């Protein structure tokens, strides 16, 4: 199936501007064009865009994502490199999750503390 730039942008929750930027920067290489020069996107392009968005959410830099996408071959060397990049990013995400868990725990403790203080004020006002 073929998607216009606006359809692809909507499906990926991105703007058309971002899609054009990704193309210009080589993050999304080889975007197809009609004979009239109009961009169109395939299911495979949408899958790649989904991965790009996922990697961005994990904090991977656009330059790293570009390098990953450009490794797109299916030979043993490029597959090994892609696996290594994803392994490192997975470790980064695991560290982020642990840091967020620690922050979540601290915020929860502080919320409980301030809630108790607030309840004490409410009790004192009633007496």
pLDDT at residue 53 tops 90: yes
Contacts of 20 (CB under 8 A, 6+ apart): 5, 39
Mean pLDDT of all residues in 96-123? 95
The pLDDT mean for the chain works out to 93
Q: What residues are paired with 40 via a beta bridge?
A: 32
Region 11-31 average pLDDT = 93
The yes-or-no verdict on residue 127 having pLDDT over 80 is no
Coil, helix or strand at residue 52: helix
Position 74 scores a pLDDT of: 78
Report the pLDDT averaged over residues 52-75. 92
pLDDT at 91 over 70: yes
C-alpha distances out from residue 123 to 98, 119, 120, Å: 37, 6, 5
60-76 average pLDDT score? 90
Q: Between these two residues, 55 and 125, which has the higher pLDDT value?
A: 55
């Amino acid at each position: 199936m073929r998607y216009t730039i606006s359809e692809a942008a909507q499906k990926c929750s991105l703007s058309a501007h971002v899609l054009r930027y990704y193309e210009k920067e080589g993050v999304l290489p080889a975007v197809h064009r009609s004979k009239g020069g109009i961009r169109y996107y395939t299911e495979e392009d949408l899958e790649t865009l989904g991965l790009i968005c996922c990697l961005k959410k994990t904090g991977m830099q656009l330059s790293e994502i570009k390098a990953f996408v450009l490794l797109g071959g299916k030979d043993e060397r490029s597959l090994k490199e892609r696996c290594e990049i994803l392994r490192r990013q997975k470790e980064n995400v695991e560290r982020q999750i642990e840091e967020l868990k620690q922050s979540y725990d601290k915020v929860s403790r502080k919320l409980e503390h301030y809630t108790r203080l607030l309840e004490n004020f409410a009790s004192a006002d009633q007496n």
